[in-house]
Chains A and B, each alone.
Chain A
Amino acid sequence: MKKFLSLFLSSVLVMSILSGCSTSSGNNSSGDGSSSGDNSGDKTVITFMTSGTQATEGEDFETQTLKKMVEAKFPNVTLEVTKLPDDQYYTSLKTKLATGEAPDMIWVQPRNAGANAVYSLAKAGYLADLSDLNAAKNVPGTGDFTYEGKVYAIPCGVQFLGAYYNKDMFEANGIEVPTDWDSFLAACETLKNAGIQPIVMGDKDSYVMQFGLYQLAANAIYPKNPEFDNLLTDGTTKFTDKDTWDKVLSMYSELYEKGYIEEGSLGIGASQAIQQFIDGQAAMTFDGTFNASAVKASGAVDFERGYFPLPGNAAGETTYVAGAPGAGPAVYADSKNAELCKQIIEYWFDAESDLCKAFQNNPRFITSYDGAPVDPLFSSFIDAYNNYNSFYWCNQAWPAGTENEMQALFGEHIGGQGTTIEQITQGMQNKFEELYTE
């Protein structure tokens, strides 16, 4: 017993020495500085963690442009930007929040979308209130970042889902851009008969299923009942309701049954699907505006790209687009530099600032501000968005995880595992009830 006690006590001693060690080495490392240059001790280091992949050509917006311009504007600031792919970002963010030392600025998604959803982070008290900023008042779309009346993040433009198509192939086969579901199916049939694979999807990365499904939901569910998702919470509506998700899922499933979407899509990754599209091996792929630069990259053949909303509507009805404010920066509530971070965000979204202009000119972002440059590929989408002919992406209104259940079950369905549409909607409903807490 005595031995164990002494063992324990000495352990505590070693522990305190150890943590002392790391603290002092911490001081050292900020003192001796790294070659990327915080060598003057007066500079404040602001850390910003965001999700995404570094651009490999040209300037990367967050890690290069933003850093450069913020440091020019605030000479006392060193901005350290970290960009991680989605999954790594989620893990990293969550763990960092648990350590109590999160980056000063973090990247959050609207409403309930993903593991970095603004609602769950704000609810847990991790985000600083940005309501007082001019950006919160002026930038469109902050509504989706408002929790209990307070704005917690500023959206970076808008994002849409749509169908990229090969204009040359459409023209060669005499196909007009379809504006309703039946003409869309007819277009696929024409392409198929001409020996062309109509659609390629990278369903191995099962999130791409959302790209098609949400567009159909924006036409088949929300126009009839815009409150569908809100009513899920008290059980007024259910995923299993007739003519809602069962309809969306069977419409989408039809594309697989008829072979319009490439067979074996479950083994193709998202970026490989894009590759096949730009190599001219398929006429269409459903994807978001966020992937525009990859879709525009040159492949094995040259052709003109087009973009149209997947029409889930009957003939004669309006086609609604699936559009939503993009993710955006938020400030960590316990950051020692919260005020400085707010100034940076203010600068970023001040329409007159150089940074804001650089941001609007970056093709990765689509802003709906007046006078902001718009890629002609997306102009019809912006019009629909401004005319309120658009609905948000479904998962933004669901507790994170519901969409994964949908993807897994739909994957089983198209993979011939005997999972029925009813089982998918039931599974989504079960998952929703399990995950939803209030």
Chain B
Amino acid sequence: MKKKRNEKSLVMTNRMYLFLIPALTLFVVFWVIPLLMLFRYSVTNFNGINQNYDFVGLKNFVTLWKENIIGVSIKNTVTYTVILVFMSNVIGLALAMALNAKIRMKGFYRTAAYLPTLFSAIVIGFIWTYVYMPNNGLIATLMNQVGMDGSKFNILAGFKSALYGITVVDIWKNIGTAMIIYLAGLQTIDDSMLEAGQIDGCTGFQLMRYVKLPLISATITINVILSVIAGLKAFDYVFIMTNGGPGKSTNTLMYTIYKIAFTDQMLGKSAALSVIAFIVIIAITIVMLFFMNKREVEL
């Protein structure tokens, strides 16, 4: 069934490429060309409003470098992404495994875990602002009730903790999707495989490590890809919950790009950072695709 590459097929003619036209047109006109326009703006002092702008060479890039904006925002984004990918996948997988067992109220737990994904990021940002609120927020009140000093709890105010605080929110929202995808992956595993493993005397851990995980490797791949993308694009919760603060401690790449363009009104400089972000993201994607490719020989 598998065809060799570049083999001409009578059934699969090149005429099939006509099917691509609508999608490709939209994609090129409204996504690729704007991106190229952005590349052009990166060497200008365009402020986004005034159409009389000048070519400034690499000045924007130099400024970004000098102000250490590149370093800080890449570091924050990568930290955010790594935590998000790790936590949402580990918890998502654990949940899926628990729910895959024969237990009661499965449906209820599943529904509860999936509910957060239905809410828009802006709503979730606002809810969690309240959860984190010092003194009389949800967590602070609960701490007070169990006899701890809730007034000391102020995660969004800490220069070190704020970034983790917003990552938790993204994890909270992401787990539902990850869990459902893992659940489906686990359900594709044939029971006979597991029985065979049990007969061979595998412990529960061995069964998971050597039978289950390899069998759902494709599921792991897609979940990791989805959460990496979500992490690299991190914007909403920074925008709603911290505005990059305190200080500049939660400036992610996307938020910094947005802020430079719309608050500082320097679209040129923000375009320059976009170019850098684009290169970083593409580099990460290529590495990921490389690993994916190794798994999926088909494409």
Contacts and interface: CB of A to CB of B under 8 A. Distances in A.
Task: Note whether A and B contact each other (Cβ less than 8 A).
Answer: yes
Contact of B47 (A18, A120, A265): A120
A240 B97 CA distance: 61
B133 A272 contact: yes
Interface in B146-169: 151-152, 154-159
Contacts of A265: 157
B49 A121 contact: yes
B129 A15 contact: no
Given A7-B17, A97-B49, A204-B246, A415 B157 contact: yes
Contacts of B247: 408-409, 411-412, 415, 417, 419
Contacts of B36: none
A378 interface: no
B49 A412 contact: no
Given A408-B245, A435-B266, A98 B48 contact: yes
Nearest to B135: A276
B45 A437 contact: yes
Contact of B248 (A87, A123, A408, A437): A408
B21 A415 contact: no
A14 B22 contact: yes
B34 to A, nearest CB: 11
Interface in A83-131: 87, 90-91, 94, 97-98, 115, 120-121, 123-124, 126
A94 B45 CA distance: 16
Given A120-B49, A124-B50, A204-B242, A404 B264 contact: yes
| Residue among B29, B47, B244 with most chain A CB within 10 A | B47
Interface residues of A, number: 48
B262 interface: yes
B25 A267 contact: no
| Residue among A11, A267, A272 with most chain B CB within 10 A | A267
A373 interface: no
A115 B262 contact: yes
A415 to B, nearest CB: 5
Contacts of A272: 133
A14 B25 contact: yes
A434 B62 CA distance: 12
Interface in B1-27: 14, 17-18, 20-22, 24-26
A266 B63 CA distance: 28
A108 to B, nearest CB: 12
Given A124-B51, A404-B263, A205 B135 contact: no
B24 A87 contact: no
A269 interface: yes
Contacts of B18: 10
Interface in B212-264: 239, 242-248, 258-259, 262-264
B50 A264 contact: no
B242 A87 contact: no
A412 B159 contact: yes
A224 interface: no
Contacts of B47: 120
Given A404-B263, A437-B45, A264 B157 contact: yes
A267 B132 contact: yes
A264 B134 contact: yes
Nearest to A434: B63
Interface in B110-146: 129, 132-135
B257 to A, nearest CB: 12
Contacts of A407: 245
A415 B243 contact: no
Interface in A137-171: none
B159 A267 contact: no
Contacts of A415: 157-159, 246-247
B105 to A, nearest CB: 37
Contacts of B156: 204, 266-267
A400 interface: yes
Contacts of B14: 3
A94 B134 CA distance: 35
Given A91-B262, A124-B49, A400-B264, A11 B159 contact: no
A412 B250 CA distance: 12
Contacts of B283: none
A313 interface: no
Q: Which 4 pairs show the lowest CB-CB distances between chains A and B? A: A267-B157, A401-B264, A267-B154, A266-B157
Interface of B: 14, 17-18, 20-22, 24-26, 28-29, 45, 47-51, 63, 129, 132-135, 151-152, 154-159, 239, 242-248, 258-259, 262-266
Given A204-B246, A267-B246, A416-B159, 12 more contacts: A7-B17, A120-B47, A124-B50, A205-B243, A266-B156, A266-B245, A401-B264, A401-B266, A404-B264, A408-B247, A408-B248, A412-B248
21 contacts: A7-B24, A11-B24, A15-B25, A120-B50, A205-B243, A206-B245, A264-B154, A266-B154, A266-B245, A267-B133, A267-B158, A268-B134, A276-B135, A404-B259, A411-B245, A411-B247, A412-B159, A412-B248, A415-B158, A417-B159, A435-B266
